[in-house]
Chains A and B, each alone.
Chain A
């Protein structure tokens, strides 16, 4: 099946800064695709290039098999959920949602608006203004406003970053469920590894304007191609150039000798911080049901060879 969005050798430079450096991505139809990387890695520029707010220097973007490079933002069948939501403050919820429907000349405005507001559980708030809504409600209006125009791809710019931290985990689940229900392809960008891993069907890790790795969350977490990817998606112990995740570390009678420096009780698990004979700092994440060594104890760490991360540079 052809990908719904295919990007090839896309580049964008701002003065001296190569924001996007010849990236290629294929996004499968109906998937929840994550583009993750540290701030300044070029993910926001990539999203803006797809939306049409920036013009690429070179490369092509094809939506449903047709090149969209030359199309203006209002001619592209994609829609953006902005990080700040960008709801029109002078319009009610109803008018915000109807905005795109009317601009695109779609029929059945009233029915579509009613249905999408029902979908995001905002029935009854039609006549509110954005300033009268909570953060979570604003986000759902932004989602509804975009989804109602039936875009081929919905672009989400850091969809959870403006939300209260306590709300994020819940919204993560809701967003994923919503995507499954509507079946629209979602492309979201985030700098948060947990969001990237938990929401994406497949994800691409970006760094310095390039895609470092592309794959499923499991592949990327368990088989990172580069040290950057390995470290970006979670803590890693580098032992003689080989990476081992803290949760793969076991304490045994034989293995890598180390001295425990400190133990940290985190409730659901315990972090043991130790130093190996070679001077490498080691972090082990133990279940609280295991025997936890005290600070100053001499221990041995082992791990399964299957848990070793072998990365380039």
Chain B
């Protein structure tokens, strides 16, 4: 009975998850077709190409941008989550405001950022109108713009788990710390933050991993100049017409993400008893 009930889920998983996965794995060991697609013979060349320093640089940049974005999300998200968790009756309202951007397409919101940041955009127009600057500031099409876009896009994924762990924090622990002579900043660093580590880790995973695979934000806000690993995959399947290499890169990205997940999940189990 139970097995029969599980059957649809098994079929869906096999068809929609494992089968495409198998196709990608197979492609990554085949040779490039002249007009896209794949051809025999089988080869390992798609993987050995990783040793080209060009891809190493892209990988490093991807990690660096994802790490900076995650750190900024944490820095901005923690005070926000703390504020919301202490907002009393207004908490629900603020949480809805945090989630509000999800009601609009991510693509449209990224275009909105382009409108803000471009040379003739809102920020430059206002600053020039006020005669604070003579030339428009180069706000768009650079790594900073990409990080701004990533932080903007993934901040809610940081705030929500942080809020959840701050919310269930026993208030008497904070009072006990004050009672034992800890000043508010001491309470924050010695009690609140250590006890929020599960939320900090969860939020960091939820931000860092999608940042690693981001391609829309670097494509639109980075202007193709600061490409990340996601753009590399995209390019192989489009302009470069090198599907086998694209498949290999996306599998390598997946392997990296899994390594990160394993490390972070193991840390979760090591939580104090």
Are A103 and B172 closer than 8 Å at their CB atoms? Answer: no
Contact residue among B175, B182, B195 (Cβ-Cβ distance under 8 Å from A90) = B195
Is B176 interfacial (CB 8 A cutoff)?
A: yes
Contact residue among A86, A87, A99 (Cβ-Cβ distance under 8 Å from B182) = A99
Interface residues on B, range: 10 to 19
Are A82 and B180 closer than 8 Å at their CB atoms? Answer: no
Are B181 and A86 closer than 8 Å at their CB atoms? Answer: no
For A100, list chain B residues within 8 Å (CB).
180-181
What 1/0 mask marks residues of chain A from 73 to 95 whose CB sits below 8 Å from any chain B CB? Answer: 11000111010101111100000
Is B96 interfacial (CB 8 A cutoff)?
A: no
Contact residue among A86, A104, A131 (Cβ-Cβ distance under 8 Å from B176) = A86
Contact residue among B172, B179, B191 (Cβ-Cβ distance under 8 Å from A79) = B179
For A80, list chain B residues within 8 Å (CB).
175-176, 179
Are B273 and A131 closer than 8 Å at their CB atoms? Answer: yes
For B123, list chain A residues within 8 Å (CB).
none
A86 to B273, CA, bound (A): 16
What 1/0 mask marks residues of chain B from 30 to 67 whose CB sits below 8 Å from any chain A CB? Answer: 00000000000000000000000000000000000000
Are A82 and B272 closer than 8 Å at their CB atoms? Answer: no
Are B272 and A51 closer than 8 Å at their CB atoms? Answer: no
Is B177 interfacial (CB 8 A cutoff)?
A: yes
A84 to B176, CA, bound (A): 11
Are B272 and A129 closer than 8 Å at their CB atoms? Answer: yes
Least CB distance from A109 to B in Å reads 13
Contact residue among B170, B180, B182 (Cβ-Cβ distance under 8 Å from A145) = B180
Given contacts A74-B181, A74-B182, contact A132 B273 (CB under 8 A): yes
Given contacts A73-B175, A88-B176, contact A103 B272 (CB under 8 A): no
For B186, list chain A residues within 8 Å (CB).
103
A62 to B272, CA, bound (A): 41
Is B138 interfacial (CB 8 A cutoff)?
A: no
For B175, list chain A residues within 8 Å (CB).
51, 53, 73, 80, 82, 86
Is B101 interfacial (CB 8 A cutoff)?
A: no
Least CB distance from A159 to B in Å reads 14
Is B254 interfacial (CB 8 A cutoff)?
A: no
Is A149 interfacial (CB 8 A cutoff)?
A: yes
Are A131 and B182 closer than 8 Å at their CB atoms? Answer: no
A51 to B175, CA, bound (A): 9
Binding site for B on A (CB under 8 A): 51-53, 72-74, 78-80, 82, 84, 86-90, 99-100, 103-104, 129, 131-132, 145-146, 149
> 22 pairs across A/B with beta carbons < 8 Å?
A52-B178, A52-B179, A72-B178, A73-B179, A74-B180, A82-B172, A82-B175, A84-B170, A86-B173, A88-B176, A88-B191, A89-B195, A89-B272, A90-B195, A90-B272, A99-B177, A103-B177, A104-B180, A131-B272, A131-B273, A132-B273, A146-B180
The 3 closest A-B pairs by CB, nearest first: A100-B180, A103-B181, A86-B176
Beyond the given pairs A53-B175, A74-B181, A145-B180, 11 more chain A to chain B contacts, judged by CB atoms under 8 angstroms and listed by A's residue number, are: A51-B179, A74-B178, A74-B182, A79-B180, A80-B176, A82-B172, A82-B176, A84-B172, A86-B172, A99-B182, A103-B181
